[in-house]
Amino acid sequence: MGALRTSIQNDNTTKTSQNYLDASDSNKNNYNTAVNNANGVITATNIQIWMLMRLMAWQIKSIQQKQR
C-alpha cells in the first residue's frame, strides 16, 4: 500500500514530465483513470481501518465496563 500512496503522491511530477506531456490522449486518460481508481482504493481502505479501530475501541470500553 505504501508504494501505491507514493505513486499517487508523485502524480503532479508525473503530469509535468515529458513522457506524460508527449503521451497520447488515450494514454493520459488511462493514467488519470488509474490514479483515480488508486485513490478510491486508498480512501476505502482508510475508511475500513477507521471503522475497525472504532469497533475495537467500543469493544475495549465494553469489556472495561463489565470488569467494574
Residues 6+ apart with CB under 8 A from 29: none
Is the whole model's pTM more than 0.85, yes or no? no
What is the rounded CA–CA span in Å between residue 42 and residue 61? 28
| Residue whose entry in the numeric block shows the C-alpha cell 499517487 | 8
CB 20 within 8 A of CB 14: yes
Domain ranges of the chain: 2-67
What is the rounded CA–CA span in Å between residue 20 and residue 30? 11
What is the rounded CA–CA span in Å between residue 36 and residue 38? 5
pLDDT tens track of the chain, all 68 residues? Answer: 678 788 788 899 999 999 999 999 999 999 999 999 988 888 888 899 989 999 999 999 888 888 87
CB 43 within 8 A of CB 5: no
